[in-house]
Structure 1
């Protein structure tokens, strides 16, 4: 019994040593977080005020500290009638690689400081992006994040008007 108590105590201590700056908490249903910038998945990332699919984010994916950027887009998807369906399509485009895209259901997350983050799939695996808004609006106009593919670290910045 003492062995089991020791294991539980050590596991608890290990969890407490995880840096809190990297902790991310899934909210119920992934629908909203307390941050005003990007606090609501559907309204701030996917849809316009008129209820249609919002414009795509576009930018580049680059090797950290390197050159040769890859064009990257994140496009909210629409069902019949241009109503957003809660999915996004992420695409990579570069002459040296075959173009690739994947459609996924994004999740809205909140870091320990209350800032909104969005998790979505890319052709090279999942990524977590930090939201940025312009002015007093809650609509997200900038996403910044990174991912690792085959041991190589990449970063990206995507924007939309």
Structure 2
């Protein structure tokens, strides 16, 4: 499947997932509801992906866990780059655990607004789409942590990812 077809398939999948995951969530561009979201935590896609210089930012890393005590799965979400810049706005999401064979997917993330008006990041994982809540430190819109959940085979997994 070529890059364009994968992109179109992902767009259709993420639109459906956003509607299923949060019935009141809707896709947004860099602006939401006519209000400038560029100065809010995670209000722009670049807050997740790029440094101020326009290069790919560092990866988010942490764990994917389940309440019943199964061993945690390492999870990373890495902004992708080409020649040091972020032209395609892609992320690679990877799960690492001894019980898993290679589990990674590269996707184009999007922003959605939840019913409370918060901007959330929608991206694909090896187990399907997820909506992440952003956290920022230092009063800047650059996202430094992501939290969310993924349903897989009827089990809800939670993740908490950070970056410096």
The size of the alignment, in residue pairs, is 137
Matched with 1:31 is 30
Give the one of 103, 106, 109 matched to 1:103: 106
Q: TM-score, normalised by structure 1?
A: 0.80
Task: Extract unaligned runs of 5+ from structure 2.
Answer: 1-21
State the Cα distance separating 1:115 from its structure 2 match.
Answer: 1.3
Are 1:131 and 1:140, in contact at CA under 8 Å, matched by a contact in 2? Answer: yes
Give the one of 143, 150, 153 matched to 1:150: 153
Give the one of 67, 82, 85 matched to 2:84: 82
Give the one of 105, 114, 117 matched to 2:117: 114
- Work out the CA distance in 1 between the residues paired with 2:65 and 2:121: 19
- Work out the CA distance in 2 between the residues paired with 1:131 and 1:116: 8
- Work out the CA distance in 1 between the residues paired with 2:132 and 2:48: 12
Deviations 1:106-145 (A, max 9, x none): 0111123221100000000000000000021100001000
After TM superposition, list the pairs within 5 Å mapping 1:1-150 onto structure 2.
23-27=24-28, 30-33=29-32, 34=37, 36-42=40-46, 44-79=47-82, 81-84=83-86, 85-150=88-153
Deviations 1:12-50 (A, max 9, x none): xxxxxxxxx8621211xx3344370000002x0110011
Are 1:32 and 1:41, in contact at CA under 8 Å, matched by a contact in 2? Answer: no
Deviations 1:92-117 (A, max 9, x none): 00011112100000011112322110
Query: Going by fraction, where is helix more abundant, 1 or 2?
Result: 1
- Work out the CA distance in 2 between the residues paired with 1:114 and 1:64: 28
- Work out the CA distance in 1 between the residues paired with 2:161 and 2:141: 17
- Work out the CA distance in 2 between the residues paired with 1:151 and 1:159: 26
Pairwise CA RMSD: 1.6
* Structure number, greater radius of gyration: 1
